[in-house]
Structure 1
Amino acid sequence: MGAQWDLYVMAVLYVLAGVNHFVNPTFYLRIIPPVLKYKQLINSVSGGAEIVFGVLLLTPYRSTAAVAVIGLLIAVFPANVYHLMQKGAGMKVPIWGLWLRLPLQGLLIWWAWQYV
């Protein structure tokens, strides 16, 4: 895979995460803050975006896709905060995992930034 093996890993992770929005929508629907309407639409759009951006990371549009990934990560951050505030939103997620997810978002942004 060459020196940019991590790019392939990142692309596959986003595609798989996007597919999971459609395979396991309940998880995502439960962590969308209630102030937001059209939860099904939000889930479908964010999942579809992850798939598209993941694929685009492997094309000449890599830089644009990386910026889009960063925007998506920022846009979904409130769901991560809500998930923590709701102590897992009824899911069996350890509280330390919910706390870890917040700085992980920053790490994912940094990772995508490497391809801008």
Structure 2
Amino acid sequence: MLVIKSVKPVKLFLRVVLSLFLIAAGTLHWLTPNPFVKIVPSFLPYPLALVYISGVFEILGGIGLLLPSVSIAAAWGTIALFVAVFPANINMAVNRISLEGIPDSDFLRWGRLPLQAVLIAWAWWYTCEDS
């Protein structure tokens, strides 16, 4: 029982961390959209609009994770968002797209792909009611 009781504060702390990450990333989509536009796959229309839309949903997901009345829905929405932006990460890796301020490294580009699975699992943790 001691382990179960100690998980709640960690889960709450990590919820706040994920929320802040989402809000910061979403804000960056609005303040500096060009790097995000650069990695949108060419088969998708209106890349700038997609960047702005994904930024809005990141911000909403981050806020929603902190609101008990909508946190489960926000977690599912965040999972959907992580899945939706995965093609941009694939595009970045496959086409070796470099972004200013990020080291030009295939390791880092390909490393983003499994990171998406970690982010999905992290958000999924909040789809379950706390007991």
The TM-score with structure 1 as length reference comes to: 0.94
Partner Cα distance (2:95, 2:73) in 1:
34
Question: Is 1:45 aligned to residue 53 of structure 2?
Answer: yes
CA RMSD of aligned residues (A): 1.1
Partner Cα distance (1:6, 1:90) in 2:
30
Partner Cα distance (1:72, 1:45) in 2:
10
Q: Deviations over 1:27-63 (max 9, x none)?
A: 1000000111111110110001000110010002110
- Name stretches of at least 5 consecutive residues in structure 1 with no aligned partner: none
Q: For residues 38-77 of structure 1, what are the structure 2 equivalents within 5 Å?
A: 38-60=46-68, 61-77=70-86
From 86, 91, 95, give the equivalent of 1:86. Answer: 95
AA of the residue aligned to 1:54:
G
From 76, 101, 106, give the equivalent of 2:117. Answer: 106
Identity among equivalent pairs (%): 34
Partner Cα distance (2:41, 2:75) in 1:
25
Partner Cα distance (2:47, 2:85) in 1:
12
AA of the residue aligned to 2:93:
L
- Name stretches of at least 5 consecutive residues in structure 2 with no aligned partner: 1-7
The TM-score with structure 2 as length reference comes to: 0.84
Structure 1 runs (4+) deviating above 4 angstroms are: none
The match for 2:33 is 25
**Structure 1 counterpart SS, 2:56:** helix
Partner Cα distance (1:37, 1:7) in 2:
33
Q: Deviations over 1:89-108 (max 9, x none)?
A: 24343110011110000000
